[in-house]
C-alpha cells in the first residue's frame, strides 16, 4: 500500500468517522448493487477516504457514502469510485480495504468538506 500513499495528492488524516456505504453501480459484480455497509473510515482527505468492507468491491464501482464527522458535528454525502481494493486480515472475517476517490459531494458542500478536512489536518499538526 506504500505505492498508493506515494501517489496521493492531498494530505490525509487518520479518522474513524462512521460511514454508510451503498453500492450504486458495480458492473463487474452486479449482485453487489444495492448492498449497504455500516463501517468506519480509517482516514480521510479532501479527495477521498479509506475503510474496510467484508467483501471485495471491484475497481470503478460507484458508491454513495454518508460520512458522519463528530468534531465538528457534520454529515457529508458523497458519490465515490473505488480506486483500489486490497485483501486484509485485520478483522475477524476476511475484509477488504478500499480506497475511494470522491467524485461528487452532494448538497453543494464540496467546499465545506475540503475546509473541514483541512481544519482537522491543521488541528492534528498542532
What's the pLDDT at 3?
A: 41
**Domain extent for 53:** 2-125
Query: Which residue has better confidence, 110 or 3?
Result: 110
Which of 91, 12, 15 lies closest to 52, judged by CA?
91
DSSP SS3 for 98: strand
Confidence of residue 1 (pLDDT cuts 50, 70, 90): very low
For the question of whether the overall pTM of this predicted structure is more than 0.75, the answer is yes
Q: What pLDDT, in 10s, does the model give residues 108-124?
A: 999 999 999 999 888 87
Q: What pLDDT, in 10s, does the model give residues 9-51?
A: 788 899 899 999 999 999 999 999 999 999 999 999 999 999 9
The contacts of residue 91 (CB under 8 Å, 6+ apart) are 52, 54
What's the pLDDT at 25?
A: 98
Task: Please report, for the domain that includes residue 51, its CATH number.
Answer: 2.40.10.220
What's the pLDDT at 85?
A: 95
Cell for 86? 486490497
Confidence of residue 7 (pLDDT cuts 50, 70, 90): low
Burial 93-118 (b: 16+ CB within 10 A, else e): eebbbbbbebeebeeebeeebbebbe
- The answer to whether 64 touches 32, Cβ cutoff 8 Å, is no
Q: What pLDDT, in 10s, does the model give residues 44-103?
A: 999 999 999 999 999 999 999 999 998 778 899 999 999 999 998 765 566 899 999 999
Number of domains present in the structure of the chain:
1
Amino acid at each position: 500500500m506504500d505505492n498508493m500513499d506515494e501517489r496521493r495528492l492531498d494530505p490525509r488524516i487518520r479518522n474513524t468517522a462512521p460511514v454508510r456505504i451503498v453500492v450504486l453501480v458495480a458492473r463487474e459484480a452486479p449482485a453487489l448493487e444495492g448492498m449497504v455497509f455500516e463501517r468506519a473510515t480509517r482516514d480521510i482527505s479532501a479527495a477521498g477516504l479509506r475503510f474496510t468492507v467484508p467483501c471485495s468491491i471491484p475497481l470503478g464501482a460507484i458508491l454513495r457514502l454518508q460520512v458522519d464527522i463528530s468534531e465538528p458535528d457534520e454529515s457529508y454525502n458523497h458519490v465515490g469510485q473505488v480506486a483500489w481494493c486490497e485483501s486484509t486480515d485485520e478483522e475477524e472475517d476476511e475484509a477488504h480495504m478500499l480506497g475511494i476517490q470522491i467524485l461528487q459531494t452532494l448538497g453543494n458542500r464540496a467546499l465545506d468538506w475540503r475546509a473541514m478536512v483541512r481544519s482537522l489536518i491543521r488541528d492534528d499538526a498542532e
